[in-house]
Every structure is written in structure tokens, then in C-alpha cells.
Amino acid sequence: MFRLLIALVLPPLLFFTIGRPVAGLFCLLLHLTIIGWVPAAIWAVYALNEYNTDRKLGFAR
């Protein structure tokens, strides 16, 4: 639940917490624009969903 809040408020931070720093840097650049914040948040929620699915199936990165 805490990571979902991070994904919505600070999308780049989520990528660093799930171990995807390159995606985090790209997301930070996207997040810095006002228009880019919404796509960055959607992308972060999607990445969080993939991360949780991979953990449940045993494919941890």
C-alpha cells in the first residue's frame, strides 16, 4: 500500500525502490514536466503491478 502511494506521488522513487534505477532516471525526466507527471504515475503503478506479480510467481529481479 505504501509503494502504491509512492507510485502516485513520486513515481521515480518507486523505480529506485524496486531495483530499476535506469527506469527511475527516465521517469524522473518525464516527471519533471507537468504534462509528463500523469504518464509517469501510470507507468509507475504498472511497474509496481508487474513487480508484485513477479514476486508472487517467484521471479524476483
Model confidence at 60: pLDDT above 70: no
Q: Widest CA span of the chain, in angstroms?
A: 37
Provide the pLDDT confidence category of residue 22 given band limits of 50, 70 and 90: very high
Residue 8, in any domain of the structure: yes
Amino acid at 17: T
Residue 61, in any domain of the structure: no
Q: What percent of the chain has pLDDT over 90?
A: 34
Q: How far apart are the first and last CA of the chain?
A: 20
- Grid coordinates representing 46 are 504498472
Domain ranges, residue 27: 2-54
pLDDT in the model for residue 16: 92
Residue 60, in any domain of the structure: no
Provide the pLDDT confidence category of residue 25 given band limits of 50, 70 and 90: very high
Residue 43, in any domain of the structure: yes
Residue 29, in any domain of the structure: yes
Domain count across the chain: 1
For 17, 32, 36, 51, the CA distances from 13, given in Å and listed in that order, are 6, 13, 15, 14
